[in-house]
Structure 1
Amino acid sequence: MGFPDQIVRTIELTHPPAKVWAALTTAEGLASWFGNTAEIDLRPGGDVRMTWTEGAAAHMRVERVEEPTVFGYTWPIHGLPDDDPRRTYVEFTLEPHGDGTRLTVVESGFAQLPDDAHKVAFEGNVDGWKSELGELVEYLDAA
């Protein structure tokens, strides 16, 4: 049986692309809506590290930077051990839309997983993007 390989979410924001870009690609921005602390080396091959107050941590690798329209990184797969080399790829695409921005997030790479791991990772990240994108909107609206 085949499983979905990607999660796609598109939201329209009332903020200009430059403001959305900064929220996605700076340590201050990421720590304000996605994690609690963040470090980012914004270049292909650069490291991104984030932590959360409950003790979770994530290490990502920047894969694509096309300011101000595309930002992509690899992401550890939820439910797999920290040393597992498999990753998903997350890509944000920003398009001007009126006075704001249309933001599309695509996370791909779930098809590489066996049945049980796919269910945990895919369902967890579907719920996670709903929550995180809501937090991004709250952060942008408050800033």
Structure 2
Amino acid sequence: MWAALTTAEGLGSWFGDSADVDLRPGGEAHVRWVEYGAHTLWIEVVDPPRRFAYSWAVDGLGPSDPRRTHVEFSLEPIGAGTRLTVVETGFAQLPDELVDAFHGNAEGWRDELAELVEYLNAAAAEE
């Protein structure tokens, strides 16, 4: 699970169409989607294998706007598996006209996390 969240191969397989990752606090990951273009993730927390967090720009704000949302992945061993909790915060700072950013990201996470499950299931089947 950790590698799926923090490596170029992992992120580029389920979260985007390709990625590169400088995995360290202060590093950046660049994730590219054919449909949505490229997005930069500013890596804030790397605490293997328990926590990974980054901030990223909000769609609808200019590229120089300092307001970002914060995404945190927490991993907890549960029996033979792992519980993954994903929390994205920072939407309260956005102007009312960008309320759709919250709804778009919430829907996006549902889709992306379903792709993560498929990616992990495929990897487990190969073992």
Report the TM-score, using the length of structure 2 for normalisation. 0.93
Identify unmatched segments of 5+ residues in structure 2.
none
Q: Give matches, 1:1-143, under 5 Å.
A: 20-54=1-35, 56-117=37-98, 119-143=99-123
Amino acid across the alignment from 1:84: D
Q: Distance in 2 between matches of 1:82 and 1:57?
A: 12
Residue 16 of structure 1 corresponds to which residue in structure 2?
A: none
> SS at the partner of 1:73?
strand
Amino acid across the alignment from 2:114: G
Q: Distance in 1 between matches of 2:67 and 2:113?
A: 24
Amino acid across the alignment from 1:42: L
| Aligned length, in residue pairs | 123
Over the residues paired in the alignment, what is the CA RMSD in angstroms? 1.0
Identify unmatched segments of 5+ residues in structure 1.
1-19
Aligned-residue offset at 1:52: 0.9
Q: Distance in 2 between matches of 1:55 and 1:130?
A: 17
Amino acid across the alignment from 1:124: G
Amino acid across the alignment from 1:99: A
Identity rate, percent: 61
Q: Distance in 2 between matches of 1:89 and 1:102?
A: 20
Amino acid across the alignment from 1:71: F
Q: Distance in 2 between matches of 1:81 and 1:120?
A: 16
